[in-house]
Amino acid sequence: MFFEHYSFFFLTDASPFPALDGRKVPVANYFQQLERLGASPELLLPVRAEPPRGCLAKALEVWQRLRPYGGYYTNERLASDAIARVARAEAPVVFVAPARLMSLVPALKAVNPATKVALILNDAQWTMNLEALLFGLGWYPGGARHDLLKGLLLPSALFRELNAYVDADCVLLQTERELSRLPWLRNSAVVAPNGVEQPKTPWVGQDSHVFAVQANFTNRRADKLRPFVTRIWPEIRAANPALELELFGPGSVLPAWAENIEGLRYVGVVDDLDAYLSIKRGFLVPLEHASGISNTVLRGLALDMPLVITRSSSLGVRSLLENRTNVQVARNAKEFVIQTLKLDPSHAEGRPQQIGSWSANLRAILQKLGISIPDATTKALDT
């Protein structure tokens, strides 16, 4: 078997992995592709370290988090048995996501110099921080305090990532746009956009009056939809009281600021996203800033359903927007209202399609790592 001489590991904080549909971390999709081809990948999950005791220890941790070069988070570590597994492995290959876990890689390379590392980025973080700063300063609609703070930490994030790139043998970027901002990475970079399998359910929501928006009310960015929900949606609703909005995603209850908004309801986690979106009037992706490709946008494009997205959400999928009359790009809050109201679902055909290929991505990664792939395996990746 081709993979019998290689040991594949995934250093990640995401477990269990989500389904093979491109909705969440791409790490899962590469893990499952390797399993399908007969490899036996293993997980390397960092554990929480004990919190520091005393003011001096806490001050040291803050300094380690923020110092310009190599300032990684220090509240996670690799258990000794995980390091030992890599030390004993033959030709180990470690996929790492998210980027902040790169601080754990030097220990792995120290115990086994043959270790090759592929860093999987959903976004080039420093470009995201720059855009967050613009949001926070009010250059784009929807900025909040966390955007401003994130942007102000740009120098720390930049140097932290530069250090991470040095340790990686292969860095995955999602778009050529990202690569153009990081030209010095060209020798080690692979442009590997996320993929979405063809949805099983076609879009049929022409007669619906319900729009869908993805939300996450479980983390510190839970209020990132606040400007849209409290300012933009009421304008849309005032212009057409028949329209309704559903928020879906993780969390148990609406935050207080989202209560008593007319035409709004929260449905929580959706088990079958394709079936859920297929009967909606349209999919709204408001006020996001990203340097890569939004999986949310890809899902809507794969369903071929009506979408209204922001300018920054469109940058990573420009090539996919050509000749699509049912996707509207809004440059500001006023345009988002106008484009949502003028969306005409009756013109949408709703022909689901596959976007991208995790198999092609995996082939490119392995080749960049110097792993020659036999023809038979290449064919298996394509089927």
Which H/E stretch holds residue 154? helix 154-167
Digit-coded pLDDT (tens) for 85-144? 999 999 999 999 876 787 788 888 889 999 999 988 765 666 666 777 777 787 766 666
The CA distance from 197 to 355, in Å, is 6
> Apex CA 77: angle with CA 73 and CA 80, to 5°?
160
Residue 187 Cα distances to 115, 124, 162, 166, 184, angstroms: 18, 17, 15, 12, 7
**What would be the CATH architecture of the domain defined by 2-195+357-382?**
3-Layer(aba) Sandwich (3.40)
Q: pLDDT tens digit string along 225-279?
A: 888 999 999 999 999 999 999 999 887 788 888 889 999 999 988 888 899 999 9
How many angstroms separate the CA atoms of 157 and 185, rounded? 17
How much is the average pLDDT of 23-47?
A: 82
Domain locations along the chain: 2-195+357-382, 210-347
Look-up: residue for tokens 């006020």?
A: 287
Instruction: Indicate the pLDDT class of residue 58, thresholds 50, 70 and 90.
Output: low
Fold agreement (2-195+357-382, 210-347) = yes
* Chain mean pLDDT for the chain: 81
Radius of gyration of the chain (CA): 22
How far is 210 from 344, CA to CA, in rounded Å? 13
Supply the DSSP symbol for 236: H
Q: Pick one of 3.40.50.20, 3.40.50.300, 3.40.50.2000, 2.40.50.180 as the CATH number of 210-347.
A: 3.40.50.2000
